[in-house]
């Protein structure tokens, strides 16, 4: 009898050890762990085990197209050894996502773990209300450039930049030299300049507010008097410039210059000497995230060089951290160069703005001034 109990005890100890070792072994299968050592390796291995138990992950953004999200999902799963985790992804306009999340928070039925948005006032509002999880990724130390530009969120997020800046259709305007926002007031550009409509958009409201740090109200009044068009959606602005309805845009994102170039239209970004507005793109974890282990791993990936390089294959954005050369030389030349579509923010003159002090009341104030300057009868 004693022998039988001894065998049973040894078997139980063996099985317990086997399961413990198998958990470590499963984590060790993840390629990312081969790159890590010591405490960081142990931290990531623990997160991977937790992520396997969670089995799900949900994220949303107004930046990455579905094709990019799918590619990032595949690369992430391979890197972290998580092939069976189920991803859910939503790509909507920032206003649509914000409205949805606010409704979910009110109902205590949050459906998302990670959000990546260019919505500075909302991100700071979420932080103040306690709806974000504080998480300092090992990647965060590389975002000192974004920190200097007041774009980071005190341990809740670090930022890349959504830069809506001047762009010119060279097929129409030729090789005219443009170095200043004041160049748009030249007589030959009368009726040829397009402005993003701030009425339905917090993004364009904050662009207007940011430029008002360097340009007086009278500048915009002159631009309006010179027949500047006003249009809401970025894709509509791009099509209008590509079609030749307007020659110059003022609120054009890198992605739209990229799409135009791929279509054979020579549309170039201009970074005026007075500076450009870099709206913080924060990658944040919700305080009540259902899958916190997956959320932390994904945020690590998003903020890494590897994640940035993956996204640049599908959608250029201005990195808040310096980036080494991409393996694709076309991306280095077209996107990352100083005069490229989306150079990292260390290569351009960003207007410092204390985004933490921007309140909904401020957004309302600057929106009202924009309407005063450009009128309410804007073109859709």
Res. 358 pLDDT band, cuts 50 70 90: confident
Give the tokens for residue 218.
């009278």
Under the banding of pLDDT at 50, 70 and 90, the label for residue 27 is low
Same domain, 270 and 291: no
Taking the CA atoms of residue 148, residue 253, residue 65 and residue 82 in that order, the dihedral angle to the nearest 10 degrees is: -20
Query: Is 359 inside any structural domain?
Result: yes
Q: What is the pLDDT of residues 249-274, one digit of tens each?
A: 999 988 899 899 889 999 999 999 99
Assess whether 189 and 249 both reside in one domain. Answer: yes
**Cα–Cα distance measured from residue 224 to residue 152, given in angstroms and rounded to the nearest whole number:** 33
Q: Say if 232 falls within a structural domain.
A: yes
Burial class (CB in 10 A: 0-12, 13-18, 19+), 224: middle
**pLDDT attached to residue 26:** 53
Between the CA atoms of 369, 375, 379 and 380, what dihedral angle is there, to the nearest 10 degrees? 40
Confidence band for 2, pLDDT divided at 50, 70 and 90: very low
Is the domain of 292 the same as that of 357? no
Span 64-87, pLDDT tens digits: 888 999 999 999 999 999 999 999
Residue 10 lies in a domain: no
Confidence band for 23, pLDDT divided at 50, 70 and 90:
very low
DSSP 80: H
3-state secondary structure 134-169: CCCCHHHHHCHHHHHCCCCCCCCCCEEEEECEEEEE
Averaged pLDDT, 88-117: 92
Question: Average pLDDT of the chain?
Answer: 89
Among the ranges given (17-26, 102-111, 313-322, 359-368), the one the predictor scored with the smallest mean pLDDT: 17-26
pTM of the model: 0.82
The two three-digit tokens of residue 9, written as one number = 């005890």
Average pLDDT over residues 201-217: 92
- Whether the pLDDT of residue 16 is over 90: the answer is no
Number of independent structural domains in the chain: 2
Share above pLDDT 90 across residues of the chain, in percent, rounded to a whole number:
66
Split at pLDDT 50, 70, 90, the class of 123 is very high
Same-domain status, 28 and 99: yes
Co-location of 191 and 225 in the same domain: yes
Structure tokens at 249: 């845009």
pLDDT bucket at 187, cuts 50 / 70 / 90: very high
pLDDT band (50, 70, 90) for residue 232: confident
pLDDT at 379: 52
CATH number of the domain within which 263 lies: 3.40.190.10
Task: Classify residue 13: in a domain, yes or no.
Answer: no
Range of the structural domain that residue 343 is part of: 163-278+333-374
**In the predicted structure, residue 40 carries a pLDDT above the cut 70:** yes
Q: Please, how many CA atoms are within 13 Å of residue 267, restricted to the half-sphere of its CB?
A: 30
DSSP letter at 59 equals E
Give the lowest-confidence range in 75-84, 285-294, 312-321.
312-321
Q: Which of 7-16, 31-40, 43-52, 204-213 is predicted with the least confidence, judged by mean pLDDT?
A: 7-16
Which is nearest to 238 in space by CA: 168, 175, 313, 181?
168
Q: Same structural domain for residues 67 and 138?
A: yes
- Do 321 and 341 reside in the same domain of the chain? no
Rounded to whole angstroms, the Cα distance separating 143 from 295 reads: 19
Report whether pLDDT(28) > 80: no
263 and 176 in a single domain? The answer is: yes
Give the residue ranges of DSSP H helices in the chain: 2-28, 38-54, 66-80, 94-107, 120-128, 144-148, 170-173, 202-211, 217-225, 234-243, 254-262, 292-303, 305-312, 329-331, 360-374
Same-domain status, 267 and 350: yes
Mean pLDDT of 8-36: 58
Q: How confident is the model at residue 32 (pLDDT cuts 50, 70, 90)?
A: very high
Residue 61 inside a domain? The answer is: yes
Shared domain check, 340 and 309 = no
Q: Please tell me whether residue 342 adopts helix, strand or coil conformation.
A: coil
Q: Are 257 and 236 in contact (CB under 8 A)?
A: no
Q: Say which residue the tokens 């979910």 belong to.
A: 104
**Statement: residue 378 has pLDDT above 90:** no
Range 127-134 average pLDDT: 96
Model confidence at 352: pLDDT above 90: no
Residue 380 pLDDT grade (very low, low, confident, very high; cuts 50, 70, 90): very low
Residues 271 and 316 in one domain: no
Q: Is the pLDDT of residue 289 over 60?
A: yes
Q: Is the pLDDT of residue 22 over 50?
A: no
Q: Are residues 344 and 195 in the same domain?
A: yes
pLDDT band at 247 (very low <50, low <70, confident <90, very high): very high
Residue 6 maps to a domain:
no
In a domain? residue 194: yes
In a domain, residue 55? The reply is: yes
């Amino acid at each position: 009898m004693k022998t039988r109990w001894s065998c049973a005890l040894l078997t139980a100890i063996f099985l317990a050890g086997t399961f413990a070792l198998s958990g470590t072994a499963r984590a060790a299968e993840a390629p990312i762990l081969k790159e890590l050592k010591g405490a960081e390796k142990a931290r990531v291995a623990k997160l991977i085990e937790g992520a396997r138990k969670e089995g799900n992950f949900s994220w949303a953004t107004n930046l990455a197209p579905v094709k990019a999200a799918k590619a990032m999902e595949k690369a992430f799963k391979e890197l972290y050894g998580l092939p069976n985790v189920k991803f859910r992804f939503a790509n909507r306009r920032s206003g649509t996502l914000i409205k949805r999340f606010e409704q979910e928070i009110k109902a205590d039925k949050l459906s998302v773990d990670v959000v990546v948005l260019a919505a500075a006032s909302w991100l700071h509002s979420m932080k103040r209300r306690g709806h974000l999880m504080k998480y300092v990724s090992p990647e965060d130390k590389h975002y000192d450039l974004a920190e200097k530009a007041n774009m980071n969120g005190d341990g809740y997020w670090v930022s890349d930049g959504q830069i809506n800046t001047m762009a010119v259709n060279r097929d129409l305007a030729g090789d005219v030299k443009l170095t200043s926002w004041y160049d748009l007031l030249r007589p030959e550009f009368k009726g040829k300049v397009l402005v993003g409509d701030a009425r339905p958009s917090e993004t364009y409201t904050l662009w207007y507010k940011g430029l008002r740090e360097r340009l007086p109200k009278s500048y915009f009044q002159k631009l309006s008097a010179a027949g500047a068009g006003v249009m809401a959606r970025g894709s509509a602005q791009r099509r209008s410039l590509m079609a030749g309805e307007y020659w110059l845009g003022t609120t054009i994102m890198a992605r739209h210059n990229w799409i135009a170039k791929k279509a054979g239209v020579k549309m170039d970004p201009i970074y005026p000497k007075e500076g450009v507005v870099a709206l913080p793109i924060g990658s944040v974890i919700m305080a009540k995230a259902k899958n916190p282990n997956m959320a932390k791993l994904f945020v690590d990936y998003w903020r890494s060089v590897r994640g940035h390089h993956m996204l640049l294959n599908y959608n250029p954005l201005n990195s808040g951290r310096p980036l080494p050369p991409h393996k694709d030389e076309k991306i280095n030349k077209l996107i990352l160069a100083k005069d490229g579509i989306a150079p990292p923010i260390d290569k351009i003159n960003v207007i410092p703005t204390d985004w933490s002090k921007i309140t909904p009341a401020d957004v309302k104030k600057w929106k009202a001034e924009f309407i005063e300057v450009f009128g309410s009868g804007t073109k859709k």
